[in-house]
Amino acid sequence: MKKEIKRRDFVGTCLKAGVACCALSYGANLSAFNPAKRQDVKPDPKNLEYCGYKCPPDCPLKKGTLENNIELKKQAYADFKFKEKYGIEFDADKVFCYGCKVKDKPLSLPITSCTVRKCVIEKGYECCIQCDGLSACNKELWTNFPKFKDAVIEMQKKYKAV
């Protein structure tokens, strides 16, 4: 018997898949940069994604999208466990990522559903490190990835220090 999925559940699942895809692509390296290596560098919100993440150039999902490489997309689909975690079947046309700040490319469902992205855009910021309410923010991304939030808060301190 096939289980019927409600639209709200599907959208929520896709959101989690997209966030997990980006955040988990490099395991423990969830911060946008390594503070130990770049203590003197002030973060530039324009060079970060809305949440403070800096997508690595070798991310298999983004690279697979840019190169239209089905094998890389399949690798990302498997590595990020889309089917197991989110019940999403592989479809090369639906498994893609151009990043969350693109203006001339389509946005995937997880990106358009991201509450951090929506909030930053509504407030007119380039990145959440510009927001004074970051430390108290309880959006799903931060509750799912508290270490990432801590890294972004540290980045915010460097951004506001000057």
User: What pLDDT sits at residue 8?
Assistant: 61
Q: Is the pLDDT of residue 25 over 60?
A: no
> Band of the pLDDT at 33, cuts 50, 70, 90?
very low
Reported as a single tens digit per residue, the pLDDT across 115-146 is 999 999 999 999 999 999 999 999 988 998 89
Which residue's entry shows tokens 């911060």? 31
Average pLDDT over residues 29-35: 43
Q: Phi and psi at residue 104, in whole multiples of 5°?
A: -115, 15
Helix (H), strand (E) at residue 122:
helix 115-123
Question: Which of 160, 114, 150, 138 has its CA nearest to residue 32?
Answer: 150
What is the number of other CB atoms lying within 10 angstroms of the CB of residue 143? 10
Q: Is the pLDDT of residue 1 over 60?
A: no
Reported as a single tens digit per residue, the pLDDT across 42-100 is 999 999 999 999 988 888 889 999 999 999 999 988 887 777 766 779 999 888 889 89
Domain residue extents for the chain = 7-156
Contact 56, 125 (CB under 8 A): no
Cα gap 105→129, rounded to integer Å: 25
